[in-house]
A and B are shown apart, each in its own frame.
Chain A
């Protein structure tokens, strides 16, 4: 199984500042058919279902604010929030859909400093 490891487990950032969450996969998750990494990022607010932010490691889902961006390749990936807003307080998960079983990172709790 591919293990997804996020860092840090929790993060406190001031409003307007940059937030960075890292995710490392235990194996490559490159999809050979399109040469893209099979990695997604989700945001989950308390009491709500997860919401897709980023897929193929760097493609922003429709309707997701531009302050959210994804990057990385190989086995190291990053979610960046360029200017933290109050509504961004949530738990963030990375997720690989390259091979079965699909696996999630353990989550990173993002709070306001």
Chain B
């Protein structure tokens, strides 16, 4: 069965980096893009962008350029979200979701940024 399994919660200090993984299984990884969605505490869903799993080409939404990096390891059928120079405002749950129409989601990874 199709599954997206994300890495566990992270507690980081401001200025540090974090890398969240999203391991896909149960389907052909390179056929479906991976989207990333952020949910700040008590807030709604915010689309961060997507990565083409066939070419590795990322697309970032406005507000997620510069410090945010999408990448892949197709041999591991895993997508990654790296956030550099973490700020307190990056505290959120980060989700990966398969392609359009986002039919499968990871369980979410809580990233907490606090000194």
Residues of A bordering B, CB below 8 Å: 1, 38, 40, 42, 44, 49-52, 55-56, 61, 93, 95, 97, 100-107
List the B side residues contacting A44 at CB < 8 Å.
45
List the B side residues contacting A107 at CB < 8 Å.
44-45
Residues of B bordering A, CB below 8 Å: 35, 37, 44-47, 49, 59, 61-62, 95, 97, 100-103, 105-108
A-B contact pairs, 6 of them (CB 8 A): A1-B62, A49-B106, A50-B95, A55-B101, A100-B59, A101-B49
A100 touches B61 (CB 8 A): yes
A49 touches B35 (CB 8 A): no
B47 touches A104 (CB 8 A): yes
List the A side residues contacting B102 at CB < 8 Å.
40, 42, 50, 52, 95, 97
List the B side residues contacting A100 at CB < 8 Å.
59, 61
A49 touches B107 (CB 8 A): yes
B106 touches A101 (CB 8 A): no
A102 touches B106 (CB 8 A): no
Task: Please measure, in the bound complex, the distance between the C-alpha atom of A105 and the C-alpha atom of B44, giving whole angstroms.
Answer: 8
Known: A104-B46, A106-B44. A49 touches B105 (CB 8 A): yes
A103 touches B47 (CB 8 A): yes
Task: Please measure, in the bound complex, the distance between the C-alpha atom of A61 and the C-alpha atom of B61, giving whole angstroms.
Answer: 27
Across the interface, name the chain B residue whose C-beta is closest to A106.
Answer: B44
List the A side residues contacting B103 at CB < 8 Å.
52, 55, 61
B45 touches A50 (CB 8 A): yes
List the B side residues contacting A38 at CB < 8 Å.
100
List the B side residues contacting A104 at CB < 8 Å.
44-47
Q: How far is the CB of A106 from chain B (nearest CB, A)?
A: 5
Q: How far is the CB of A23 from chain B (nearest CB, A)?
A: 13
Q: Given contacts A56-B101, A102-B35, could you give 15 more A-B pairs where the C-beta distance is less than 8 Å?
A: A40-B101, A42-B45, A49-B105, A49-B108, A50-B45, A50-B95, A52-B101, A52-B102, A52-B103, A55-B101, A55-B103, A93-B44, A95-B102, A101-B49, A105-B44
